[in-house]
Chain A
Amino acid sequence: MRYTKDHEWMVSRDGEVVVGITEFAANQLGDIVFIELPEEGATIEAGAEIAVVESVKAASDILAPASGVVTAVNDAIISNPGLVNEDPLGEGWFFRMEFDDSGEFDTFLGKEEYQLLTQE
């Protein structure tokens, strides 16, 4: 599993990358009540705001970790946003994508580097 500085996790599987938000991020946000996801098939650019997570308190943007194409989105979290709080690393995944540059995956943070980021 790899991580972004923006508290997203990524798992590489069969040429696709599954993306979600970390447990740390889900805890920080609190109860999630609304989610907007990108369109399946959308071409996205690294750093672009492609999804929105709204907690009880506020709205936060989810940024594309890399440039590529969205291959699938998790409709279950649209009808039940609380899934992201309950199981952020499993049932609460956000979308799958193909990276334009598949080598980019290994340039993201590893587990220990990410953990350092969350313990100020």
Chain B
Amino acid sequence: MSVKRTPLYEVHKRFDPVWVEFAGYEMPVRYKAGTIAEHRHTRESASLFDVSHMGQVIVTAKSGDESDSAAALEGLVPADILGLPEWRQRYGVFTTAEGGILDDMLIARKPDHLFLVVNASRMKADVDHLQRSLRETCNVRLVRDRALIAIQGPCSEMAMKRLAPEVAGLRFMDVGEFSVGHAKLWVARSGYTGEDGFEISVPSKAAIKLWEMLVEMDEVMPAGLGARDTLRLEAGLCLYGSDIDHTTSPVEAGLVWSIQKVRRTGGSREGGFPGSSRISFEIENGTSRQRVGLRPEARVPIRRGARLFGDAAGANSVGEVTSGGFGPTVNGPVSMGYVGPSSAQEGTQVFGEVRGRLVPVRVAALPFVPPNFRR
């Protein structure tokens, strides 16, 4: 199978990035500045990310009544979709019948449809899942003619306002549609870095022009997937396939906040999603492991797959690291992983295995860096 390219490939090439294959796409992992500089620039100013590999999906109700699609999606996702106001979005997960996670996504409610942004690696599976499960009530369409650009960082609003002044009216997790030239942009005030910013769906043929207009601004630099990963790790956000997958429940993953009260036991629309019995049970009774933040106490990064122990001799296994590396803003190593309840308390000392040695790690609050959203 050949490697796919996003509509922005040609413009990236001009900046001569280091490339990486990610979910079947050839993507910039870093540009000339390097991951640490790109990361810091995002937290201090604004960076541009090509996230066109992600899946953009439109769900419409066959009845023509949009609330029918919202009700149908609640059959797959434990989030409150019917209660989501128009022009708002929220985070949700597709659950398995066993209460694991098939994918995580953002779900935007628009007047006549739902707009979902899903992970590149899960795009095909998600569309199949939606089409199969909702075939009687909904039409499900993968958007193939649009790129997706994220601008992230405290100067994002200043930059975007020059092109579409209306974006200043959006708060965190608001969505809107705005025209720039002849292009209609689908804009959400969100991102995956812990910073203020926008995720912008743009027609593919206008994507390079939009990228150029933004990247030429003084505040804005391009950033690759390397910085996207260190930013989301510091922000304590899950990477599907690493921190969450079909074996982890949303409760174990610390995503109970994405299951609104109305969908929990005792709520007016309780349950009704795959795996609801396990998930409801876990919300009431707790889990045998949970996702936590981990701060290695030395300088050595502790990466995905490292085993965690409760003692320096490595006799008592307590869990495993699912994401880890160097946090440029923290200026030290940061990790996330799963541990048992007796080790999950903030401040607990555990030990991570690195090249056969056990190094001390402190269980820490997530996120590692306070969020900077415009609420």
Contact = CB atoms under 8 A, between A and B. Distances in A.
Interface of A: 30-31, 33-34, 36, 52, 54, 56-59, 85
A111 to B, nearest CB: 24
B299 A30 contact: no
B226 A57 contact: yes
B355 interface: yes
B30 A54 contact: no
B168 to A, nearest CB: 34
15 contacts: A30-B30, A30-B35, A30-B226, A31-B326, A34-B299, A34-B301, A34-B326, A36-B300, A52-B355, A56-B35, A56-B326, A57-B29, A57-B226, A58-B303, A59-B301
B326 A33 contact: yes
Contacts of B328: 56
B20 to A, nearest CB: 9
Given A31-B35, A34-B326, A59 B303 contact: yes
Nearest to B230: A56
B18 interface: yes
Main SS class of interface, B: mixed
A58 B355 CA distance: 13
B271 interface: no
A36 B359 CA distance: 14
B325 A56 contact: yes
B34 interface: yes
A78 B300 CA distance: 11
B253 interface: no
B36 interface: yes
A30 B325 CA distance: 14
Contacts of B303: 58-59
Interface of B: 18, 29-30, 34-36, 226, 230, 299-301, 303, 325-326, 328, 333, 355
Contact of B36 (A31, A36, A58, A59): A31
B16 to A, nearest CB: 12
Nearest to B20: A57
Nearest to A82: B36
A5 to B, nearest CB: 21
A31 B300 contact: no
B228 to A, nearest CB: 12
Nearest to B299: A34
A56 B226 contact: yes
Contacts of A33: 36, 299, 301, 326, 333
Nearest to A81: B299
A56 B40 CA distance: 13
A33 B326 CA distance: 7
Nearest to B331: A33
Nearest to B332: A33
A46 B328 CA distance: 35
A24 B18 CA distance: 13
Contacts of B35: 30-31, 56-57
Contacts of B299: 33-34
Contacts of B300: 34, 36, 54
A37 B303 CA distance: 19
Top-10 shortest CB links A-B: A33-B326, A31-B36, A56-B35, A31-B34, A56-B326, A31-B35, A34-B300, A34-B299, A54-B301, A30-B35
B34 A30 contact: yes
Nearest to B325: A56
B222 to A, nearest CB: 15
A53 to B, nearest CB: 11
Contacts of A54: 300-301, 326
B242 to A, nearest CB: 14
A54 B332 CA distance: 12
Nearest to A54: B301
B355 A30 contact: no
Nearest to B225: A57
A85 B32 CA distance: 12
Given A30-B35, A57-B325, 10 more contacts: A34-B299, A34-B301, A52-B355, A54-B301, A54-B326, A56-B226, A56-B230, A56-B325, A56-B326, A59-B355
A81 to B, nearest CB: 9
Contacts of B325: 56-57
Nearest to A85: B34
Contacts of A56: 35-36, 226, 230, 325-326, 328
A52 B333 CA distance: 16
B265 to A, nearest CB: 43
A36 B325 CA distance: 16
